Amino acid sequence: MSSDLEVAIAAAAAGAAVVRSKYGTVVARHDKSPTDFATDADLAAERAILEVIQGARPEDAVLGEEYGASGDADASRRWMVDPLCGTLNFAAGTPLFSVNVALQVSGTATVAAIADPVSEEIFWTDGETARVRRDGSDLALVPSADSLLVDVNLDPITDGGFLGSRLLADPGLRAVFGQRVLSTTLAVAWVAAGRRTAYVTDGNLRDSVHFTAGLALCRAAGCVVTDLCGGPLYDGPGVIAAADEKTHAILLELIAPHLPD
């Protein structure tokens, strides 16, 4: 594996193979909170991903969802690993989850891969282009607003409020868009792929193992990606990832009344 992109794709594929092999089986749960847990699939998938990354890039640091940080804390190169985004879906037998791998160099995501273990697709970016690998072929990702489907994150990740529930109850949103809640950042990759019109979440997402890969993919695909106020990504709260400028402008207007003063 000569390139960072190849490492990212191989790592995501290794994690996805583990998740796929365990999907639909009985797996042990490891509670994090009353409504959040990891499973043996999360842990095994992260180990498989780490084996690929550490074997190919032993000098790099890693931040994983389950096993935390490893390597030199001051390293300029750091891999962000979410081995199973959508654990509750996975455990409930709902086929909506992903494996996310991204490389940050000096804090900027340079390559990323998002694997869907069920469809066996791998969405990837080298930082400039965005593609999906399907049945051995790499196809360009083309964002599209045609579906009019907007995914809203319902996980309350902001202490000062909960944008998701307020936004979903807004009749203005319902009048323009169909609302969806996948409860996995696979939905972010779907914006890049033209399967969703937009994705909205609140929270501080800088250095997030959940979102770094998907947002890098969206930006490379040409989506409009900003904070909830329309500013640069990570400058303010949350994220709007929209297929085009028109959708982004509509969402900014709809979201503004629900933001704290």
Q: What is the pLDDT of residues 166-193, one digit of tens each?
A: 888 899 999 999 999 999 999 999 999 9
* Residue recorded with tokens 């501080």: 204
- Which pLDDT band holds residue 90 (cuts at 50, 70, 90)? very high
Q: What is the pLDDT of residue 155?
A: 79
Give yes or no: residues 194 and 110 share one domain: no
Residues of the chain with pLDDT > 70, as a percent, come to 97
Q: What is the pLDDT of residue 165?
A: 83
Which CATH number covers residue 158? 3.40.190.80
Q: Is 242 part of any domain?
A: yes
Q: Which residue from 93, 72, 112 is spatially nearest to 210, judged by alpha carbons?
A: 112
The full 3-state SS of the chain, as one line of letters, equals CCCHHHHHHHHHHHHHHHHHHHCCCCCCEEEEECCEEEEHHHHHHHHHHHHHHHHHCCCCEEEECCCEEECCCCCCEEEEEEEEECHHHHHCCCCCCEEEEEEEECCEEEEEEEEECCCCEEEEECCCCEEEEECCEEEECCCCCCCCEEEECCCCCCCCCCHHHHHHCCHHHHHHCEEECCCCCHHHHHHHCCCCCEEEECCCCCCCCCCHHHHHHHHHHCCEEECCCCCCCCCCCCEEEECCHHHHHHHHHHHHHHCCC
Q: Is 230 part of any domain?
A: yes
* Residue recorded with tokens 């084996």: 51
- Which pLDDT band holds residue 161 (cuts at 50, 70, 90)? low
Mean pLDDT of 97-123: 98
CA distance 95 to 99: 13
Q: What is the pLDDT of residue 248?
A: 98
- Which pLDDT band holds residue 157 (cuts at 50, 70, 90)? low
- Which pLDDT band holds residue 260 (cuts at 50, 70, 90)? confident
**65 burial via Cβ count (<10 Å: 0-12, 13-18, 19+):** buried
Sign (positive or negative) of CA dihedral 179, 182, 188, 190 = negative
Q: What is the pLDDT of residue 32?
A: 83
CA distance 254 to 252: 6
Q: What is the pLDDT of residue 33?
A: 76
Domain range enclosing 94 = 4-135
Looking at 108, 135, 162, the residue that finishes a domain is: 135
- Which pLDDT band holds residue 145 (cuts at 50, 70, 90)? very high
The overall average pLDDT reported for the chain is 94
Give yes or no: residues 9 and 52 share one domain: yes
Give yes or no: residues 131 and 167 share one domain: no
Q: What is the pLDDT of residue 159?
A: 53
- Which pLDDT band holds residue 34 (cuts at 50, 70, 90)? confident
Structurally, how many domains does the chain consist of? 2
CA distance 55 to 29: 28
Kindly report the number of other CB atoms within 10 A of residue 234's CB atom: 17
Q: What is the pLDDT of residue 192?
A: 98
* pLDDT tens per residue, range 201-227: 998 899 999 999 999 999 999 999 999
Q: What is the pLDDT of residue 106?
A: 96
Res 162 pLDDT > 70: no
Give yes or no: residues 10 and 130 share one domain: yes
Mean pLDDT of 65-78: 94
* pLDDT tens per residue, range 9-23: 999 999 999 999 999
Q: Which segments are annotated as binding site for Mg(2+)?
A: 65, 82, 84
Res 156 pLDDT > 80: no
Looking at 76, 102, 135, the residue that finishes a domain is: 135
Q: What is the pLDDT of residue 151?
A: 96
Q: Which residue from 137, 155, 145, 205 is spatially nearest to 177, judged by alpha carbons?
A: 145
Give 205's Cβ-side CA count (13 Å radius). Answer: 30
Q: Is 141 part of any domain?
A: no
Q: What is the pLDDT of residue 35?
A: 72
Residues of the chain with pLDDT > 90, as a percent, come to 87
Structure-token pair, residue 169? 């109850």
In degrees and rounded to multiples of 5, residue 225 shows phi and psi of -125, 115
Looking at 69, 103, 135, the residue that finishes a domain is: 135
Q: Which segments are annotated as binding site?
A: 65, 82, 84
